[in-house]
Amino acid sequence: MQVLRHGNYPKFISLVNGNIPKMVLYSFGKIEVNSKPKTENIDFVGLVMAGPSMKYFYKKYVSEYGFFTYNEISDELYYQIGLFEITI
């Protein structure tokens, strides 16, 4: 069983093995083109890099287990919470 910490995008990408989008990053005067996921990318960069892996994981999950059902909060509220997390 793999343990995955929230925000550990490099580990998630390596476990799912999804594509990484082409990106140009600028940090401290250095430009990187199509860099590999790094542990310091726990922000929006990591989230964007993990996007294709998240889509792949979701499709595989739904095909095996069906759609997520969670009745405690509405889908709209869950969506808003996700957007809020990204903004902070």
pLDDT at 88: 66
User: 53: burial class by Cβ within 10 Å (0-12, 13-18, 19+)?
Assistant: buried
- Cα(68)–Cα(71) distance, rounded to whole angstroms? 10
Question: Does residue 73 sit in helix, strand or coil?
Answer: coil
C-alpha 52 chain-centroid distance:
8
Residue 54 tokens, joined: 């998240």
Mean pLDDT of 45-64: 89
pLDDT at 1: 64
Question: Are 87 and 46 within 8 A, CB to CB?
Answer: no
Over residues 8-34, the pLDDT tens digits come to: 888 888 889 889 899 898 888 889 898
